[in-house]
Amino acid sequence: MKSWWVGLGAASPFLLVGALPRPAPRSTPGAAAPTPLLRAMPEPLERCWARLQRRTTAARRDGQLPELLERIASGLRAGLALGPALMEAAQGAPHPLAIELTPLALALRHGAPLEAELERWATTPSSSPDVRLVAASLDLARQAGGSTSRAVDRVAATLRERRELQAEARALATQARASAGVLAVAPVVFTALVATIEPGAAAVLFTTPLGVGCLVAGAGLDALGAAWMGRIVRSAW
C-alpha cells in the first residue's frame, strides 16, 4: 500500500500541470472553434486527439474518392468536358470531401485553369497518395483527351481494390496486434499480482536499490519489446 501512495505522490506534479489553466489559443480564420472537451484536455493529449481527428478525416475523404471519380465518368459519358464534369460532381460530394472540392469548383467557375487547380489540390498539406493519384489521373485525362470516361472508371476501380486490400491487411494484423498487447501488459499484470499476494516481495522490489534497479530494467525492456512488436505489426501492412 505504501508503494501506491509513493507512486501517486510522484505522479501528482504531472496531474497538477495538466490541470492548470492554459492561455486560450489564438483563433485561426476558417478554423473550427475548440470544443469544451478539447479545452479541458492537457496540451499533449489535445495534440494527439487533433492528430487522430485529422487522420480519421483523411481516411473518410479517401474512401469517398472512388464515388467522385464515378460521378465524373458519368458526366463525361453524358457529354460534359472534364472541368464541368468535375464541378458537377463536386456539388454532390459528401463531407469531408466537399470541403476540399468546393473551393476547387468555385475557382473553375471563375475561369481558373484546371491543371493549376488539380496541382493545388494534390499539394495541400492534407493530401494523401490517393488524392495525388486522382489529381494526376484527371490531369492526364485532360491532356490525353479521347475516351476519358473509361480511364476515370479504371482509376476508381483501382482505388476500391486498394482500399479492400488495406482493409484485409488490417484485419489480418488484428490478431498480431492483440498478441503484442498481451505480451506487453503481461509483465505489469504479473508484478501487480505478485505485489498483492506477496507484499514482502513488493517491498523488496520498491524499497531496495537492487529491487528498484530490476524494476527500472524490466520496465525499460518491456517498453522496448512493446515498441519493437508494434513496429513489426505496423510494417506488416
DSSP codes, 25-47: PPPPTTPPPPPHHHHHS-HHHHH
36-40, 108-112, 168-172: the lowest-pLDDT one: 36-40
pLDDT at position 51: 83
Give the Cα separation of 224 and 142 in Å (integer): 51
* Mean pLDDT in residue range 56-71: 92
pLDDT at 15 over 60: no
User: What is the DSSP code string of 83-101?
Assistant: HHHHHHHHHTPPTTHHHHH
pLDDT at 23 over 70: no
Give the Cα separation of 169 and 187 in Å (integer): 29
Give the Cα separation of 3 and 212 in Å (integer): 12
Residue 146 confidence class, pLDDT cut points 50, 70, 90: low
Mean pLDDT, the chain, whole residue set = 79
CA 199 vs CA 1, 56, 185, 191, 224: distances in Å? 9, 45, 21, 11, 28
- Tell me what percent of the residues of the chain surpass a pLDDT of 90: 34
Q: Is pLDDT larger for residue 100 or for residue 19?
A: 100
- For residue 96, whether the previous peptide bond is cis, meaning omega lies within 30 degrees of 0, is yes
What is the value of pTM for the model shown?
0.60
pLDDT at position 119: 94
Give the Cα separation of 134 and 82 in Å (integer): 13
Is 64 in contact with 130 (CB distance < 8 Å)? no
